[in-house]
Structure 1
Amino acid sequence: MFDFTVRARSGFWVLQDVECGDLGAYGTRDEALAAASDWVRLIETPWPVLVCDAEGEWHETVVTPMALH
């Protein structure tokens, strides 16, 4: 399925998938998590995302599928 990571890299927040690699670079952590939310809409269930900040600290959060408008 999906194995998402959001990492701070060179002033951006990069959304990565273990199988597909980099999926996009975003200006903020929240924008990267929103992009992950858009991806999990395909499976229609909340999904864990690992987040690595600029200091190298790891955290886990759960994103919910973005609602269709």
Structure 2
Amino acid sequence: MSLAVIRQYIELVRQGPGNEHERLELLRRHQNHVEVPIDVVDVGELDQKASRLASVARTGSGSLSV
């Protein structure tokens, strides 16, 4: 993930609830563009974060961390 995208993600987190769809989109774009071999990347952590964001985006509530 580029520094610009990381900064964008951090800014969205700082803004608080209500932008989970945007955060989820950033994570999904990152997941789709990972260029290292899949066995080197801890995709499980990224999948867990995406699942939590998707849940919050659907329900509008929940606890998220960076």
TM-score, structure 1 length as denominator? 0.27
Which has more strand, going by share of residues? Answer: 1
TM-score, structure 2 length as denominator? 0.28
Q: Indicate the structure (1 or 2) with the bigger Cα radius of gyration.
A: 2
Which one scores higher on RCO, CA 8 angstroms, separation ≥ 6? 2
